[in-house]
Structure 1
Amino acid sequence: MQKMSVLNRSTLLFPLALVLFEFSVYIANDMIQPGMVMVVREFGVDSAWIPTAMTAFLLGGALFPWLMGPLSDRVGRRPVMLGGALFFVLSCLATLVSTGIESFTVLRVLQGVGLCFISAVGYTTVQEAFEEKAAVKVMALMANVALIAPLVGPVVGAALIAVWPWRMTFALIAAVAAVALFGLWRKMPETLEHKTVELSLRSLKADYLALLKNRRFMSASLTIPLLALPLLGWIALSPVFLIEQAGMSPVEYGLWQFPVFGALITGNLVLVRITDRLPLGRSVLIGLVPLLSGMALMFAGCLFSSVPHYFIIAGISLMALAEGLSFAVLYRFALTSSGVSKGATAAAIGMVGMVVYVLGIEGFSRLHQHFGDAGFAAMALSVSLCYAWLARRVVARAMADRAEQGEAALEPQLAGQDA
């Protein structure tokens, strides 16, 4: 198929349907949290089951990305994505008739499986359907819509359960996902030209081993979680910083999230504006300035200030701005860093990220327990320095490759002019 290079109403309908599905999956986690007290109360179980809902959902997201990407390489992106969206809709509707906490938890796992289709299949299709710079801009725009979920999900969920039974939360989520499914059915292209139904454990093992041994792929894929780790550490520990230590109310806690996510959205919007003006990768290098400045500011504030939480917010906001400038570009570099099929590559990027996130968040938690805010800030600064070193190498290699490709494409034209 011919790749799309212009962003207009027609070409953006597929990404819009995809991001609507992504949004519905994310709010399936965020919207029900305020209603979990009512869930455990109806099923007559202990409140210890409340955090289990989120754990079960995330477990579902970790189960099958290793399979969905390679499966879409064999049978096509479109049938796997449509099947995944339909599965998610049905799993949400099934919650309407759940009869106990056990069946509810199983359904939470099944709903979490929807996460597997977003990056391993959906993002891959975007990268294949659009020209390189257009794909980067589409990914940046999609990220802004997806970021709304953690901000509005709990608020909408709380308002919904105030007037409706908690089960209606899942009816609303299913309705949104059904609209997304219809849009994907109408507008999602099939970007895989050569398909085969062959899928074996041997072929999967060969693909993933080839990626793990590919130093260029591993370097590029590691930049993504290293960049995002301080923000995830903030998300995990911000209730401790703001509510327990600073004595803020839950409303104040929510309001102080806006500078962080607002900076992330701003970074994505700036990336969209400058992508056509600069060589791909330059925005990552520009982002190193606010990233390292923010981490240094946060570390100094945690060491010397009596109100360290303000410095943490400022530092994480600057880091989020850098992430917005960099994520879509780094994802593109990682996806194109090997000759392995794109579905398997996208799945591997997700799995590498998952491992780093789990280890990193645990590290942030342990350091904060033993050394307080300074321990958190020290790890964030260290992780960001490692990222900066690795990102410069990855960007330099990717930009050099693209320069060589540009020269190679220009040579036949110059030869024709000489003749």
Structure 2
Amino acid sequence: MQRMLSFFRRYAATLFFPIALIIYDFAAYLTTDLIQPGIIHVVRDFNADVSLAPASVSLYLAGGMALQWLLGPLSDRIGRRPVLITGALIFTLACTATLFTTSMEQFLVARFVQGTSICFIATVGYVTIQEAFGQTKGIKLMAIITSIVLIAPIIGPLSGAALMHFMHWKALFGIIAFLGFLGWLGLLLTMPETVQRGVVPLSVSGVLRDFRNVFRNRVFQSGAAVITLSYIPMMTWVAVSPVILIDAGGMTTAEFAWAQVPIFGAVIVANMVVARFVKDPTEPRFIWRAIPIQLFGLLLLIAGNLLWPHVWLWSVTGTSLYAFGIGLIFPTLFRFTLFSNDLPKGTVSASLNITILSGMALAVEGARWLWFNGGRIPFHLLAVVAGIAVVFALAGLLRRVRQHNASLPATEK
């Protein structure tokens, strides 16, 4: 009987824990993607200024940054399991609270609290996946998780546009709250614990020392720069595209939703290629082969908008090609940044997410300013500059990872 229980726990950790994490992550994505086609309706429903529409995304990102400083070190000390389960419950309650908002200010506060799901998922959930499985299996499992979760940006806008013909936008958050509850229940029943509790005492000085060591680590610095810059072209498009395509471009919500399909579909295809066909996603030659795809996408993005400024096809096509290129290597970049050091992984992940989300919040606000004050070309130039900077930062990351691996004992390589 004991052996059967032990087998079930291992099987649950291998299969059902990733599924529970996917449900939680999927629901977190839907809070942005399901409502994006109707965000203009939300603003108008509360009689607010349309310029506040992108703030729904930037405040969500700010919420994702708010607890990073605490959750990483906390999960290193008391365990990953209690922290992630608590996060899933907070997310479910925040989505439920959105049903009772009566002003744009209340809606944005709820969005901020919903954004804390990023802290729990990225800082604790993804680290647990990487710790529970080996390097290659962990990278491929993360690629599979990302592929499934990124269905949300595809079906989210389409479903949101369709559902808003039959129900109020608040009802969409009720659906998301139910998914959040399912994710919480699944984590409660199946999530394994990957750290030994109580080995490291929880103290302010210890937490500060860990963060200081992480931010001084050269591999971390390079990895955080690469990942943050890599996100900018996609996240600025996600945040500002409702204003660009619906408010300024005159698209319907359904047309807007279909316009997003190629971008997120490209990331899904890229992750499935990694999971199914790439033997070693950490091979430098494979990583460098993805860079020309990204750069060609950015070239098409800016050239198309210069030559045919009235056709939004170039914005979507260029961003989609870039998304495919970065999707090929993103799980590997995360793994390199997290594990090419001897630092506490919860603190490393928290530091990485603080850097990413700070950069994203600033980039979204900068992109919004560029659009309203400069128009299409300055807005897209931000993505081009970030994409070119990725190449130089990636070269530094791969060099430092190679140096770290060379310093390891033969038994650890």
Aligned to 1:78: 81
Please tell me whether residue 118 in structure 1 is matched to residue 121 in structure 2. Answer: yes
Aligned to 2:228: 225
- The answer to whether the 8 Å contact 2:161/2:257 transfers is no
Aligned to 2:398: 395
1:294-342 deviation digits (Å, cap 9, x = unpaired): 2223233333345563333222111101111011110111111332211
Higher relative contact order (CA 8 A, sep 6+): 2
Q: How does 1:179-194 map to 2 (within 5 A)?
A: 179-194=182-197
State the distance in 1 between where 2:106 and 2:86 align. 22
State the distance in 2 between where 1:154 and 1:368 align. 22
Q: In structure 2, the residue corresponding to 1:190 is in which secondary structure?
A: coil
Q: CA deviation at 1:9?
A: 8.9
Aligned to 2:270: 267
1:230-268 deviation digits (Å, cap 9, x = unpaired): 122322343455456665444333222222222111111
Q: In structure 1, the residue corresponding to 2:196 is in which secondary structure?
A: coil
Q: CA deviation at 1:57?
A: 4.1
Aligned to 2:410: 408
Change (3 A) 1:349 1:184: same
Q: CA deviation at 1:134?
A: 0.8
Q: In structure 1, the residue corresponding to 2:151 is in which secondary structure?
A: helix
- The answer to whether the 8 Å contact 1:35/1:161 transfers is no
- The answer to whether the 8 Å contact 2:76/2:345 transfers is yes
State the distance in 2 between where 1:29 and 1:309 align. 22
Q: How does 1:305-320 map to 2 (within 5 A)?
A: 305=308, 307=310, 309-320=312-323
- The answer to whether the 8 Å contact 2:25/2:121 transfers is yes
Amino acid at match of 2:279: D
Moved more, 99-108 or 232-241: 99-108
State the distance in 1 between where 2:371 and 2:110 align. 34
State the distance in 1 between where 2:370 and 2:181 align. 43
Q: How does 1:64-103 map to 2 (within 5 A)?
A: 64-95=67-98, 98=100, 100-101=102-103
Q: Rg larger in 1 or in 2?
A: 1
Q: In structure 1, the residue corresponding to 2:194 is in which secondary structure?
A: coil
1:42-81 deviation digits (Å, cap 9, x = unpaired): xxx5334974665654443232121111111110001111
Q: CA deviation at 1:28?
A: 2.8
Taking only the aligned residue pairs, the percentage that are identical comes to 35
Amino acid at match of 1:76: G
Q: CA deviation at 1:190?
A: 0.5
Amino acid at match of 1:350: N
Change (3 A) 1:243 1:46: closer
CA RMSD of aligned residues (A): 3.3
Aligned to 1:415: none
Q: CA deviation at 1:385?
A: 1.9
The alignment covers a number of residue pairs equal to 400
Amino acid at match of 1:184: L
State the distance in 2 between where 1:215 and 1:341 align. 15
- The answer to whether the 8 Å contact 1:308/1:373 transfers is no
Amino acid at match of 1:128: E
Q: TM-score, normalised by structure 1?
A: 0.83
Q: TM-score, normalised by structure 2?
A: 0.84
Aligned to 1:417: none
1:268-304 deviation digits (Å, cap 9, x = unpaired): 1111124424544443211101011222232333333
Q: How does 1:202-213 map to 2 (within 5 A)?
A: 202-213=205-216
Change (3 A) 1:199 1:60: same
Change (3 A) 1:164 1:256: closer
- The answer to whether the 8 Å contact 2:13/2:190 transfers is no
Please tell me whether residue 16 in structure 1 is matched to residue 48 in structure 2. Answer: no
- The answer to whether the 8 Å contact 1:25/1:114 transfers is yes
State the distance in 2 between where 1:220 and 1:335 align. 9
State the distance in 1 between where 2:149 and 2:361 align. 21
Change (3 A) 1:246 1:267: same
Moved more, 198-207 or 355-364: 355-364
- The answer to whether the 8 Å contact 1:21/1:181 transfers is yes
| Gaps in structure 2 of 5+ consecutive residues | 1-10
Aligned to 1:26: 29
Please tell me whether residue 143 in structure 1 is matched to residue 146 in structure 2. Answer: yes
Following TM superposition, where does structure 1 have runs of at least 4 consecutive aligned residues deviating by more than 6 angstroms?
none
Moved more, 199-208 or 104-113: 104-113
Change (3 A) 1:108 1:347: same
Amino acid at match of 2:410: A
